[in-house]
Structure 1
């Protein structure tokens, strides 16, 4: 994920979870790492209801919390067995 840029929210049922930037600067969805995209739903996480991104082709859920009008804090759960259940924390800024 060296060139990971962010996520693209087209609609609640059409999310591109892994947007990358090529070495030439072009943005593109990484459909190999996240086949089928994803969708948004309201789900509980640690006793709080949050907006969650459910990946269609992977056992992954991202949970989001707004930090300010242009910033989301995120935590990715699930993933591959090699992740050993570890969560990945990230920040998204609106561009």
Structure 2
């Protein structure tokens, strides 16, 4: 009797990585996934992260990140946030000084992650909301594969997507100033 070979489904691998992984593990998983076509992303998605030790780990969740909404290739809401009293709003990414915060995140991550700052950000966040789309979807090449990519209008960020399954994608946030991408996932709502 020959040895049986066990294959692990991508969704199971993502469940494991969502509890924490090295950058190498997360990127090896990302690299093994198929490309995503732009229309596959249309709709609303709930987000989560793959903690890898990136300075961005835990930050979006602390500030109330819900996910992303892709109305069309040219109408994307990249930062859909939960309102403190219920419901969601789209945060205007250009009003978030993320590139300026990167050095602080790297040197003093605890300062930006203080619970009081998260509570204040959740309360003040709706004042930074927008109804206008603040990103677009395009196909770009990243790590040797052409796939759907969300390009922010106001920030030097590209979120590149690969398919885990029909209702789940893995994203790699390529942000100028970060040594490694922030890895996250989206599940279709």
Asked if these proteins are the same fold (TM beyond 0.5), I'd say yes
Alignment of 1:1-95 (within 5 A): 1=60, 2=62, 3-31=64-92, 32-33=95-96, 37-79=134-176, 81=177, 84-95=178-189
In 1, the alpha carbon distance for the partners of 2:155 and 2:88 equals: 22
Unmatched 5+ stretches in structure 1: none
In 2, the alpha carbon distance for the partners of 1:93 and 1:67 equals: 10
Bigger fraction of residues in strand: 1
Unmatched 5+ stretches in structure 2: 1-59, 98-129
Structure 1 length as normaliser, TM-score? Answer: 0.87
Indicate conservation of the 8 Å contact 1:17/1:38, yes or no: yes
Indicate conservation of the 8 Å contact 1:77/1:85, yes or no: no
Bigger fraction of residues in helix: 2
Structure 2 length as normaliser, TM-score? Answer: 0.46
Higher relative contact order (CA 8 A, sep 6+): 2
Higher Cα radius of gyration? 2
SS in structure 2 of the partner of residue 25 of structure 1: coil
In 1, the alpha carbon distance for the partners of 2:179 and 2:80 equals: 23
SS in structure 2 of the partner of residue 91 of structure 1: strand
How many pairs are equivalent? Answer: 92
Supply the RMSD in Å over aligned alpha carbons. Answer: 1.8
By how many angstroms is 1:22 displaced? 1.4
By how many angstroms is 1:78 displaced? 1.1
Indicate conservation of the 8 Å contact 1:4/1:20, yes or no: yes
